[in-house]
A and B are shown apart, each in its own frame.
Chain A
Amino acid sequence: MHVDAERLFRYADGALAPDDAEHVRSHVAECDACRVHVERTMEEWREIEARLGAIDHAPPAVVVTDIITPRGAARFPRLRVAAGIVLALAVAGAVYAVPAVILPRWFPEPASVEDEGTRNRSEGLPTTAPDTPQAGIAVQPGEALRLDVATTGSSGSLEVRRTDGAEVRVRAPIGAATFATEERRLLVTVAREGTTIEIEIPRTASRIEIRVDQRVVFRAADGSSDPAFDAEPDGTVRIPFAARRP
């Protein structure tokens, strides 16, 4: 007499009490039909777990001390933090802009907000003042330029546009990334899940190549983009990159 299906499933899932599991184990050892049933169930679970890994994103870098705060202290869901930053910036900007306020004189040059990642490693290269409030880097394309994006296992996307400007400009308007330059190479390291990297390429640039984790995802030469890279109606080429499997 066969073991009923519910018990077999429980046995295969390791969810039976020890005594009952022993009883089912004895039966399965002698019954081909039940053994096949159990083996198939276990195999299916292994397959499911492997397949589910295909859609995983990197977990957020949250530690328990982010949660354990003094009772009543502010908590940090993303939107509240973002709202706080926006409010603080708005207040700072308003104060800075008010005529006769001494504050602008304390900052005769545009304020540098470089951190470790945004520091330009090409010391000695001539720099120009930033003219945009967004994080990023701009370079003269020269004869050839390679842009290397390291995704660090995150998912996100590149948005590539051709412009009439003279510089290759790279920004991370959503998420976070760090930027560095080398001779004929621009390095972008994605620092957060879901980051969008905007890349502006001059129409006049001779040769530009974009790689994501060493894989070529975009090429442009002598003023035109490779037609294989499908652009949207507004001229933007969107290139998503997926999180790597663990």
Chain B
Amino acid sequence: MTTHTLHTPAERTTRAAPAGEGAATAGASAFEAAFRAMFDGYFTRIFRYLDRMTGDPDAAADAAQEAFVRLYGRGVMPERPSAWLVTVALNQMRNALAQRTRRAELLTVERGRLVHSEPPDGPADLVEREDERRRVRRALDLLSERDRSLVLLRAEGYSYRELAEALHLHEASIGTQLARARARFRDACEEPTNAR
């Protein structure tokens, strides 16, 4: 078997070396310590929230990173950093999606996957998994942005107060609003996938 590699000057899997790591850790101000704690506790949750909101992991990763970059750039913690991060990240996400008119692309991709991801002779569980993925994605897309955020942020463990602040809602009725959003999500999941 003759083999050769097709080389690239571009893609590498290693991340860029962190700049200023020594200074950042050695100096470890109170803000930086708080920032690190926020990053450790919330980065993955913010990413997952945005990814689930849109189904676009690349845009979600960029928006989550940008939100933390901005938080670090402030130099002081906002009063409710978890809610602040959601607001900033969601705005980043909206702007990015609006610029790229990403929505149409996503729908095209979804349709393509429906056709080609079904293995011709694969086991039933793979088909079921794909069906469930489509069903959940579609159910989320059917919800209003507020309902989607309520369900997804609550699933990430956000408190009622954080939900109210991040989504600009009245805290006194968050439980009821969450229940309605949850019911709409459940109903949307139960709709036949070819209903639309």
CA distance A113 to B8 in the complex (A): 6
A6 with B1: CB separation less than 8 A: no
Contact residue among B7, B62, B121, B155 (Cβ-Cβ distance under 8 Å from A52): B155
Q: For B131, give the chain A residue with the smallest CB separation.
A: A54
Contact flag A134-B176 (CB < 8 Å), given A45-B182, A49-B155? no
Contact residue among A64, A142, A179 (Cβ-Cβ distance under 8 Å from B36): A64
CA distance A240 to B132 in the complex (A): 16
A1-51 at interface with B (beta carbon < 8 Å): 5-10, 13, 15, 41, 44-45, 47-49, 51
Interface flag for B88 (CB, 8 Å)? no
A55, A76, A230 interface centre (most CB from chain B within 10 Å): A55
Q: What is the number of contacts between chain A and chain B, taking CB atoms within 8 Å?
A: 255
What residues on A are CB-neighbors of B39 within 8 Å? 64, 67
Contact with A along B1-13 (1 / 0, CB 8 A): 1111111111111
A242 with B129: CB separation less than 8 A: yes
Could you tell me which A residues sit within 8 Å of B by CB distance?
A: 5-10, 13, 15, 41, 44-45, 47-49, 51-52, 54-71, 73-79, 81, 85, 89, 110-115, 117-120, 122, 125-130, 132-140, 142, 145, 155, 167, 169, 171-172, 175-176, 178-179, 181, 183-184, 191-194, 215-217, 226, 228-230, 237-242, 245
Contact residue among B1, B62, B176 (Cβ-Cβ distance under 8 Å from A183): B1
Q: For A228, give the chain B residue with the smallest CB separation.
A: B120
Contact with A along B141-178 (1 / 0, CB 8 A): 00000000001101100011000000000001111101
Dominant secondary structure of chain B at its interface with chain A: helix
Contact flag A66-B18 (CB < 8 Å), given A110-B7, A129-B4? yes
A62 with B176: CB separation less than 8 A: no
Q: For A44, give the chain B residue with the smallest CB separation.
A: B182
CA distance A145 to B3 in the complex (A): 12
Interface size classification for chain B: 35 or more
CA distance A137 to B19 in the complex (A): 33
B175 with A10: CB separation less than 8 A: yes
Dominant secondary structure of chain A at its interface with chain B: loop
A44 with B178: CB separation less than 8 A: no
B175 with A111: CB separation less than 8 A: no
B133 with A125: CB separation less than 8 A: no
What residues on B are CB-neighbors of A41 within 8 Å? 179, 182
What residues on A are CB-neighbors of B60 within 8 Å? 57
Contact residue among B3, B6, B132, B186 (Cβ-Cβ distance under 8 Å from A171): B6
CA distance A115 to B1 in the complex (A): 22
CA distance A240 to B109 in the complex (A): 10
CA distance A107 to B130 in the complex (A): 49
B24-81 at interface with A (beta carbon < 8 Å): 24-25, 32, 35-36, 39-40, 43-44, 47-48, 51-52, 55, 57-58, 60-62, 64-66, 68-69, 72-73
CA distance A217 to B121 in the complex (A): 9
CA distance A9 to B163 in the complex (A): 15
A125 with B61: CB separation less than 8 A: no
B131 to chain A, nearest CB (A): 9
What are 24 contact pairs spanning A and B, CB under 8 A?
Answer: A5-B176, A13-B154, A41-B179, A47-B186, A48-B155, A54-B129, A55-B136, A62-B61, A65-B18, A66-B18, A67-B39, A67-B68, A68-B72, A77-B66, A77-B69, A85-B10, A113-B8, A125-B1, A125-B2, A130-B4, A135-B11, A137-B4, A137-B6, A138-B5
Interface flag for B115 (CB, 8 Å)? yes
CA distance A79 to B160 in the complex (A): 36
B65 with A215: CB separation less than 8 A: no
B43 with A48: CB separation less than 8 A: no
What residues on B are CB-neighbors of A172 within 8 Å? 11
**Which 6 pairs, one residue from A and one from B, show the smallest C-beta to C-beta distance?**
A9-B175, A135-B8, A65-B18, A136-B6, A57-B57, A228-B120
CA distance A81 to B16 in the complex (A): 9
CA distance A15 to B177 in the complex (A): 14
CA distance A92 to B80 in the complex (A): 47
